[in-house]
Structures are given as C-alpha cells and as structure tokens.
Structure 1
Amino acid sequence: MLLNNTHDPQKRPMHQVVGLVLVIPLLISFVKLPLLMSPIAAIAAVLGSAYGAHLARQQNSHKLVVFAWTMAILNALSVIAMSTPSAAMGLYFLARHEWQAMAT
C-alpha cells in the first residue's frame, strides 16, 4: 500500500494556531536572550498569540477560537506576572516553586 501524501486542508489552520499560541511562546521562553532583547521577544510572542487567535476567528472554528484567546490571555498574564512569554512555562515555574517550598 502506498503512502497517501495528501493533507487535510481543514487541519492546517489548527496547526498554525496551535503553533502561534502554544509552541512559539514556549520555544521563546527556553531561549536565553540578552537583557534588552528578552522583553521584545516576550511582547512579540504575545502579539503572535493574539494573531493566532485572530487567525482562528477567521476560520470560524468556535472551539479553536476559545482555545486561542484563552492561551493568548494566559500568555499575556504570564508576561506581566512572571516575565515569561509562555503560560505553560509560567505554570512550571509556579509548580517548581511550590515543590521546593513543600520540600523544605
């Protein structure tokens, strides 16, 4: 049986949105940048998350819009509260802090 290389055109916007609101901010939070470039990269990640939410809205997928706007808002709150552009990394920092506090 030959491999079928045709891709579902319905999944392409979902992959783009997930990449913009989840993957790119997480990758930016892993990179160590110089002092002045770090806030610029964080703001760019939040703006990319907002664009991903806008892209989801254009595709008329309600669940994808809710996910994208939720992640964009959490990413923005994470930048404000913890100076990390990813909400997932912010949750990791909080969990690590609590685990260390419980261990001592």
Structure 2
Amino acid sequence: MKADGYSLDDKRTEIKENDIPDIIERFYALDKEKDRTRKEQSFLVPKADIVANDYDLSINKYKEVERVKVEYEDPDVVLARLEGLQNQVAEAMAEYKKLG
C-alpha cells in the first residue's frame, strides 16, 4: 500500500490517492492475482518461499526491482560546460560593476 487516503502529516486530511479499495477488490478476487509478476504493486508469494525466508514478510525479500541503467554525460564535458557558464557569469558581473 502506497496511500491510505489520508495525508502523512499530523492533520491526516483526506487525499485523492487511496489504495484501500483496490486492495479489498484484489483480496476478493485472489484467483485473478496468480498471474501477477513480482514487479507489480501487489503479487502472491508461494508459502514455500515465505518458509524459506524464515517467515520474513519484508517486501524486499520478494519484490523484483527493475533497474534501469542511467547513462551519464562524460564528466569532462560537464565540467567544461560549467566552466564556460562561470566565465559568462564573471563577464556579466564585471559589466554590471562598470555600470554602477
């Protein structure tokens, strides 16, 4: 469950995000849940897996996280661009000082 329909602050005001109706609906239709993958919001876990994990019900024991490889720009390119921007700022500041 990501949201219970109330804000997380001390006021606990009602919010739009609410997973409880979906949880109830899925509970009463468990036969349809058998094909859900471990990458989804909710899924079923065989009892044997739970026993093998000493009855640890931590989601991280069972959920498969899909990792996306992030390609970063070469640091030298980023530093060169940053240096150019710093030079532009320094030039602009020098111009403003001449005016004032």
**TM-score bin, normalised by smaller chain:** under 0.3
- Where relative contact order (Cα < 8 A, 6+ residues apart) is larger, the structure is 1
Greater percentage in strand: 2
Greater percentage in helix: 1
TM (norm. structure 2) is 0.21
Larger C-alpha radius of gyration, 1 or 2? 2
